[in-house]
Amino acid sequence: MIAVIVKGWPRLSETFIAREIEALEARGLALSLWSLRHPTDRKRHDVHDAVRAPVAYLPEYLHQEPLRVWRAWRRLRRTPGYAKAKALFDADWRRDRSRNRIRRFGQALVLAAELPPETTGLYAHFIHTPGSVARYGAALRGLPFGASAHARDIWTTADWDLAGKLGEARFVTTCTDDGLARLAGLAPDRSRLTLNRHGLDLHDWPEVPLRRLKKGTDADNPVVILSVGRAVEKKGYATLLEALSLLPLGLHWRFAHIGGGPLRGELQVRAAEFGVTPRVTWMGAQNEDTVRHAMMEADIFALTPHVAADGDRDGLPNVLVEAQSQSLPVVATDVGGVGELIEDGLNGLLCPPQQPTAIAAALGRLIREPETRAALGAAGRLRVEQDFSATPGADAIAELLRMHLGAA
């Protein structure tokens, strides 16, 4: 059995993790899920219910379950693995004297004490905080571990922290060339790194019927622009709202946003300041069925991420692959791995990040040119079919787990 350590379960914003777990179970792997956080989303995707693995919640904050942490420490403190794990923690503590560091060691104690005896390895999504828990837990139990690394965890984790995990993990997977280059610069052994692009099961995302070719000049039938993403700085929604405000007055459109996030209220204020509020619908966090239906009804998909002030950035947002699978023409910014999916002018339009004028020009072009929308959308679907099927990626992860973590 493989223990999979995740930041939270279930999470609407990390659908690809649930899909991967479902795919691994379909390939016969026995898994257990260990979550660092209790669920906060009110809704869940159908795929979460399809996963059969048992779920355990580690103490989110150590003071909330002190007896559980103490019992784990008592059980493990005289084991050979404890000395090794404590040495790792002490070395990390000298560089990072934070409560978060203590919390990860406490969570690892509980994880190691409560793992089923048939556990053969640990697999962390992602390499930052889940990776720390997996690293300490693996040392405590004398087990191998692997990790995935995709976006924030690559770009906001300290170099020394990443290098330590890259040197000890049996394998690390990432989904973009951009992320792979960052990890390769720190990895003692590059052969342990694997590029594994996220894909879709196209049975779940069938091609939609041809959309009506709206011309953007009919006030009663406006072009629908959709975006799906959390309201956080790196997603660039303030820039996108400004771009919408720059669209010519003669064009008829409306904008729908799906997603929660801490900046949602602030963005609604910005929409009012830009004068676009009457054309904007804030739908909040939604499950996959609602997202899929919204994509079927939309005419354009827009996502304009940038590098945040703390270095956080997207890898390759899964919603872009989903939008392309629905033959939606995409306007996006060339950040992270976005350009590894979208080729400007072929299967979407790419703009420089934080350039509202350029984004407005791309949106305006697609609003005015329904034939261009149709051509870009069709090319996007073909791109996903050819290069972003879920099957090869799931096969590759299953093989890594069997080869390095002893999965049956």
2 bridge partner residues: 31, 121
Domain membership of residue 66 (yes or no) is yes
91-116 per-position pLDDT tens digit: 999 999 999 999 999 999 999 999 99
Residues 149 and 184 in one domain: yes
Residues 116 and 250 in one domain: no
Domain membership of residue 212 (yes or no) is no
Domain membership of residue 211 (yes or no) is no
Q: Output the pLDDT for position 181.
A: 95
Q: Is the pLDDT of residue 407 over 80?
A: no
Lowest mean pLDDT among 43-47, 64-68, 208-212, 300-304: 208-212
Q: Output the pLDDT for position 246.
A: 98
Q: Distance between CA 113 and CA 116 in Å, rounded? A: 9
343-401 per-position pLDDT tens digit: 999 999 999 999 999 999 999 999 999 999 999 999 999 999 999 999 999 999 999 99
Residues 379 and 237 in one domain: yes
Lowest mean pLDDT among 65-69, 244-248, 287-291, 345-349: 287-291
User: Which of the four pLDDT bands, split at 50, 70 and 90, describes residue 217?
Assistant: confident
Average pLDDT, the chain: 95
Q: Distance between CA 271 and CA 226 in Å, rounded? A: 15
Residues 158 and 229 in one domain: no
Domain membership of residue 360 (yes or no) is yes
| Strand duo 300-303 + 330-333: pairing | parallel
Q: Is the pLDDT of residue 43 over 90?
A: no
Cα–Cα distances in angstroms (integers) from residue 11 to residues 7, 45, 366, 387, in the given order: 9, 9, 33, 26
Domain membership of residue 96 (yes or no) is yes
Half-sphere exposure of residue 14: CA atoms within 13 angstroms, side-chain side: 19
Q: Is the pLDDT of residue 277 over 90?
A: yes
Q: Domain containing 285: what range?
A: 223-387
Residues 195 and 117 in one domain: yes
Q: Is the pLDDT of residue 212 over 90?
A: no
Q: Output the pLDDT for position 408.
A: 67
Order of strands across the sheet with 172-174? 55-57, 31-35, 2-6, 121-125, 145-148, 172-174, 193-195
User: Which of the four pLDDT bands, split at 50, 70 and 90, describes residue 216?
Assistant: confident
User: Which of the four pLDDT bands, split at 50, 70 and 90, describes residue 211?
Assistant: confident
Q: Output the pLDDT for position 40.
A: 87
Residues 269 and 349 in one domain: yes
For the chain, how many structural domains are there in total? 2
Lowest mean pLDDT among 160-164, 211-215, 335-339: 211-215
Residues 257 and 162 in one domain: no
Residues 187 and 256 in one domain: no
User: Which of the four pLDDT bands, split at 50, 70 and 90, describes residue 145?
Assistant: very high
Residues 46 and 128 in one domain: yes
Domain membership of residue 205 (yes or no) is no
238-258 per-position pLDDT tens digit: 999 999 999 999 999 999 999
Comparing CA positions, the residue from 401, 235, 388, 241 lying closest to residue 324 is 388
Q: Is the pLDDT of residue 207 over 90?
A: no
User: Which of the four pLDDT bands, split at 50, 70 and 90, describes residue 219?
Assistant: confident
CB 242 within 8 A of CB 363: no
User: Which of the four pLDDT bands, split at 50, 70 and 90, describes residue 14?
Assistant: confident
Residues 338 and 353 in one domain: yes
Residues 159 and 62 in one domain: yes
Domain membership of residue 165 (yes or no) is yes
Domain membership of residue 350 (yes or no) is yes
Q: What is the CATH classification number for the domain harbouring 60?
A: 3.40.50.2000
- Residue 210's CB is within 10 A of a number of other CB atoms, namely 10
148-192 per-position pLDDT tens digit: 998 889 999 999 999 999 999 999 999 999 999 999 999 999 999
CB 159 within 8 A of CB 182: no
User: Which of the four pLDDT bands, split at 50, 70 and 90, describes residue 27?
Assistant: very high
Residues 173 and 294 in one domain: no
